[in-house]
Amino acid sequence: MRKILTLLLVVSMAGSPFVVFAQQEASNWVFGVGGGLDFSCSTPQFYSTPFDGLEGGAVISSADGDLLFFTDGNVVWSRDYQIMPNGHDLGGLCAGYGNYASSSQSALIIPHPGESNLYYIFTTDCTEDGFAAGLRYSVVDLSLNGGMGDVTQKNKPLVANTEEKVAAVFQSNGKDVWVLTHGVQSNKFYAFSITSAGLNTTPIISSIGQSHPGGRGYMKFSPDGQRLAVACFLYGYNNDGIPLELFKFNISTGQVTSDFVIPTGTEVIYGVSFSPNGRVLYTSCAWGCSGSLIQQYNLDAGTPQQIYDQRYTIRDTYVQGGMQLANDGKLYFLSTNSTKVEEYLGVIMYPDKTGNACEQISNYVELPCWTGVTYGVPNFIESYFREQVTNGNCTQKNESFVENFDFGISSDCHTRSVFFDNKSSVIDAELSRPTLFYSWLINFGDGAIHWSRVPEDATHTYATPGTYTVTLSVSSAGCVIYSMQQLVTIGAPSPKFSYKQDCKTLAVNFNNLTSEQGEAYTLHWDFGDNSIDNTSDAKNPTHKYAIPGKYAVTLTATNDCGSSSTQMEFQVYEPLSVSLGPDTAFCFETDYILKVARQPKASYRWSTGDTWIDIKVTTPGEYSVIASRDGCVVSDVIQLKYEDCDLCSTVVKDLQLGSDTTICETDLIHLGVDKSVKGEFLWSNSQTEHGIDVTEAGKYWLTLIQGNCQTSDTVTVDIRDCTVCDVFIPNVFTPNIDSKNDVFAVDVRCEHYAFRLTIYNRWGDKLITVYEPSWNGRIGNEFVSPGIYYYAVQYSFTGPQSRVITHQKKGWLHVVR
């Protein structure tokens, strides 16, 4: 037995502790027409059940999450999908709706708090019956019927004239249960207590809220039991409902007290559900809606009007019907949109969050098309969903009640009658569905059909000879689940065949397609080439022709009713082949042509992607071609390499990258050869292009390979800071014509222009300006006197990106004689 993690929560409410134990009794769902969901997997897994309910229903699982039994309010099915003994007519049948279980919350299953094998089933009557049966209960004992259960008490009345509503929540001890319903044309709530002593049939009555004119719509507790939401309308049209009501509930006393009414505009509320924390309320529409939508109300938003004004609307094409929390903490809803092909289980991923943070997904679980999605979701004790529960017992259940699907045919060609042997089978429980059934249809191919409720054999007589396609199909809820076809021949057989030529020979394989059903027949082949073995009686013969050409093949089929023949003319081709020849070499300066011989009806594809019979090759490597025809495929591969050319090109011989050079720090230099040069290129930085851009100092080399010729060249690139141009200016010179230091020479150590030198005396008077980097110490023809003088030097040079940079230098100089 698996160990179950038990969660214990204690919350103070109305002076009493509220104890909630983690539950797995809601791990299985039943809904719609034949639908079941297993919540023990990470994503709910669909399986098929015999459940059939237009609206509500109920299901109960064990503490370990294993299915125990379920009901639509009228019929009880055990876990083996069989109807329990005494399991009919529980009180939820809607006579006014064609004896169909049709009530918003048609049923609710409550475990007996003191007897582990006993369960209560509460049922409600429908609007169409005038709510006459009211709230009733039955008792199931699972210790009986081999552990499958037996209904020991049935259809016991509790309250007459109650709505299509029944809800439940744990009492403050987390074990006993309150079961609540509401009267019709009144404002009375009826709360029944179930303890270890059993069901107390005397209710706690609370007269509070609006008088209810009708009975449709859901009533739900918040998972903590503190709040109660009630939707109510009569027909769902002309706004015949009442605004959505919220009440407070005392889980210790069973009393319902006033809370407030939320305005609901013109929408008719059908489904209601609280979020797990009870602070967010969701409502949905079922029919008479202005649009498929879910409304989200933040109950912490303030006054009832503020709650309504701040509502968040989730519009969805597929939302119409009830909503229900699940073990995984998510809120699920169903679709009844009859115009779409797919049916989905939609979900609110994070129902505790408000606005679009709740994250609605319409197509969360795709349901099989043969599952009829209706309006209802299963009804549970809402306390099960106070905390998220996962049992981890994910198992694959049945997806369909059809176990086997197959049929056989035998016929008499003289009488033109055929016997159809339906070998299909179904799970026995399928027959226990009260209204849902599969349609088994045999279409004999001549307009005649045979319909049955279960798989049946059938006999049919054809009016005229011929070959007919017989189809067996099974459908449910208007959806074809399986379909299978076979051919049957009545009278003389109608021969058919196909053929396929062998890829590499003139042999042809023939395949007989004559119907194999019905009377036995013999075959005779005439291959049409007048050879010794020109004929054959084999079923699927192979014939080898001597030469290619056109041939007419005749197939004759014979049975007791006669013979018939068919003839087909076809072409026998030369064997499919392709050859690229031996591996070879070519000069890099000459393009090489690869070519194959064209063959009739053949297509070609090269490894280059080309589809011609020839391609032009410019580089060595491996090349392949595939030839195909009528499903035949052949291929060949060739290796190409460079050979020694008579002369290597001048480029290879004279490869030069240029002289060593210096560039500015922010500049780049392009090194390389012209793009018209053929060959393979390998640079010192591993690049393989014709040229590279250099921005860093270093030695760069290029190796150029042309065929078996190769050469290399290297260039050195230096980097300097082009924003700096140093200058040397002496501070002493002796203009005495002794050829030693006779000139004041300014040494500008970069390429420059616009040079200007100005000399000043010690009082700042300008003496002379020269435009070259030297001064001979004269003003006119006279030497200046010895002493201290001042100079100003200005010059310009070109910096990065051709910018003009101008420098100025000032200082003093000493003239000595």
Q: Which of 506, 465, 493, 635 is nearest to 566 (CA)?
A: 493
Tally of CB atoms within 10 A around 277: 12
Only one residue has tokens 């970069």, namely 750
Contact 57, 321 (CB under 8 A): no
Return d(Cα 747, Cα 107) in angstroms, integer. 109
Please say whether the dihedral angle defined by the alpha carbons of residues 353, 354, 359 and 365, taken in this order, is positive or negative.
positive
Please say whether the beta carbons of 245 and 212 come within 8 A.
no
| pLDDT attached to residue 472 | 92
Cβ neighbours, 10 Å, residue 480: 13
CATH fold of 727-815 reads Immunoglobulin-like (2.60.40)
Q: What is the pLDDT of residue 226?
A: 96
The CA distance from 307 to 510, in Å, is: 78
pLDDT tens digits, 469-498: 999 988 775 677 788 888 888 878 888 999
- Give the CATH H-level superfamily of domain 497-572: Immunoglobulins (2.60.40.10)
Cβ atoms of residues 135 and 124 within 8 Å? yes
The amino acid at residue 761 is N
The mean pLDDT of 82-92, rounded to a whole number, is 90
pTM confidence score: 0.58
8-12+24-385 CATH choice from 3.40.718.10, 1.10.4190.10, 2.130.10.10, 1.10.600.10: 2.130.10.10
List all residues 6 or more positions away from 94 whose beta carbon is below 8 Å from its beta carbon.
Answer: 100, 101, 102, 103, 125, 126, 128, 129
The pLDDT tens digits for 357-391 are 999 887 788 777 767 677 889 999 999 999 887 65
CA 312 to the chain's CA centroid: 27
Residue with tokens 């303890």: 195
Distances (CA, A) of 530 to 549, 551, 556: 13, 10, 17
Residue 254's pLDDT is what? 96
Q: Which of 279, 271, 325 is nearest to 295 (CA)?
A: 271
Residue 520, burial from CB neighbour count under 10 angstroms (0-12, 13-18, 19+): exposed
**Read out DSSP for 289-316?**
-SS-EEEEEETTSSSHHHHHHT-EEEE-
Q: pLDDT tens digits, residue range 242-296?
A: 888 999 999 999 999 988 888 876 567 889 999 999 999 999 886 666 666 788 9
Q: What is the mean pLDDT of residues 454-470?
A: 88
In order of 456, 644, 660, 674, 693, the CA distances from 703 in angstroms are: 85, 18, 17, 14, 16
d(CA 95, CA 44): 34
- Specify the residue for token string 């903490």: 329
Mean pLDDT, residues 68-97: 90
Q: How confident is the model at residue 5 (pLDDT cuts 50, 70, 90)?
A: very low
Percent share of the chain, pLDDT over 90: 47
133-160 pLDDT, tens per residue? 899 999 999 999 999 999 999 999 999 9
Per-residue pLDDT at 805 = 86
Q: Where are the beta strands (DSSP E) in 477-587?
A: 479-490, 497-501, 507-512, 522-526, 535-536, 542-544, 549-559, 562-572, 584-586
**Which two tokens mark 338?**
């009859």
The pLDDT of 402-420, averaged and rounded, is 82
pLDDT at 341 exceeding the cut of 60: no
User: What is residue 750's predicted lDDT score, i.e. its pLDDT?
Assistant: 86
Asked if residue 630 lies in contact with residue 501, where contact means CB atoms within 8 angstroms, the answer is: yes
Average pLDDT value for residue range 100-124: 93
Query: Comparing 76-90, 161-175, 321-335, 707-721, which segment has the lowest mean pLDDT?
Result: 707-721
pLDDT at 594 over 50: yes
For the residues of 375-388, what is the DSSP string, one character each?
S--EE-BGGGGSS-
Could you tell me which residues come within 8 angstroms of residue 380 by beta carbon, excluding any fewer than 6 positions away?
25, 26, 58, 108, 168, 324
Place of tokens 């040229």: 691
The residue behind tokens 């049919």 is 460
Question: Looking at 180-184, 313-317, 339-343, 380-384, which range is the least confident one?
Answer: 339-343
What is the per-residue pLDDT for 644?
64
What's the mean pLDDT when you consider all of the chain?
85
Least confident of 203-212, 253-262, 648-657: 648-657
Does position 7 have pLDDT exceeding 50, yes or no? no
Contact in structure between 186 and 242 (CB atoms under 8 Å): no
236 band by pLDDT with thresholds 50, 70 and 90: low
Task: Pick left, alpha or beta for residue 207 (phi over 0 → left; psi -120 to 50 → alpha; otherwise beta).
Answer: beta
Any alpha helices (H) in 534-655, and if so which ranges?
650-653
For residues 538-552, give the mean pLDDT: 93
Residue 88 has pLDDT above 60, yes or no: yes
User: Which range is most confident: 105-114, 635-644, 719-728, 780-789?
Assistant: 105-114
Are 83 and 67 contacting, i.e. CB atoms less than 8 angstroms apart?
A: no
Provide CATH 2.60.40.10 ranges for the chain.
Answer: 402-490, 497-572, 650-720
Residue 652 DSSP class: H
Predicted pLDDT at 678: 78
* 394 token code pair: 């994910």
Q: Classify domain 584-642 at the CATH topology level.
A: Immunoglobulin-like (2.60.40)
Return the C-alpha torsion angle 579, 585, 591, 593, nearest 10.
-10
How many CB atoms sit inside 10 A of residue 535's CB? Answer: 14
Neighbours of 550 (CB within 10 A): 9
CB proximity list for 1: less than 8 A, separation 6 or greater: 64
* Per-residue pLDDT band at 674 (split at 50, 70, 90): confident
Residue 35, beta-bridge partner list: 31, 48
DSSP designation for 145: G
Predicted pLDDT of residue 794: 93
The residues, ordered by sequence, that sit 6+ positions from 740 with a Cβ below 8 Å of its Cβ are 734
What does CATH list as the number for 402-490? 2.60.40.10
Name the DSSP class of 210: P
Residue 252 is encoded by which pair of tokens?
């210790």
For every residue of 500-521, DSSP letters joined together read EE-SSSSEEEEEE-S--SSS--
Query: Beta 219-221 vs 507-512: how paired, if at all?
Result: unpaired
C-alpha distances (whole Å) from 635 to each of 91, 507, 629 are 77, 20, 12
Is 55 within 8 Å of 416 (Cβ atoms)?
no
560 token code pair: 């007791």
The CATH 2.130.10.10 portion of the chain extends over 8-12+24-385
Mean pLDDT of 734-739: 88
* Burial class (CB within 10 angstroms; exposed 0-12, middle 13-18, buried 19+) of 558: middle
8 Å CB contact between 592 and 566: no
Sole residue written with tokens 């809803």: 333
pLDDT at residue 20, rounded to an integer: 41
Among 584, 591, 593, 586, which residue's Cα sits nearest to residue 644? Answer: 586
Other Cβ atoms closer than 10 A to 332: 24
Token pair, residue 164, equals: 């299509």
Q: Does domain 650-720 have CATH number 3.30.300.20?
A: no
Greater model confidence, 573 or 110: 110
Q: What local confidence, expressed as pLDDT, does residue 339 receive?
A: 47
677, amino acid identity: V
Percent of the chain scoring above 70 in pLDDT: 88
Select the highest-mean-pLDDT range: 29-38, 105-114, 213-222.
Answer: 105-114
Q: What is the pLDDT of residue 13?
A: 37
Q: What is the mean pLDDT of residues 746-772?
A: 91
CA distance 36 to 32: 9
Helix-then-strand count for the chain, H and E: 2, 69
Encoded amino acid at 762, one letter: R
User: Which residues, other chains included, contact 209 with Cβ-Cβ below 8 Å and sequence gap of 6+?
Assistant: 187, 230, 245, 247, 256, 258, 261
Residue 409 has pLDDT above 60, yes or no: yes
What is the 3-state secondary structure of 694-738?
A: ECCCEEEEEEEEECCEEEEEEEEEEEECCCCCCEECCCEECCCCC
pLDDT band at 649 (very low <50, low <70, confident <90, very high): low
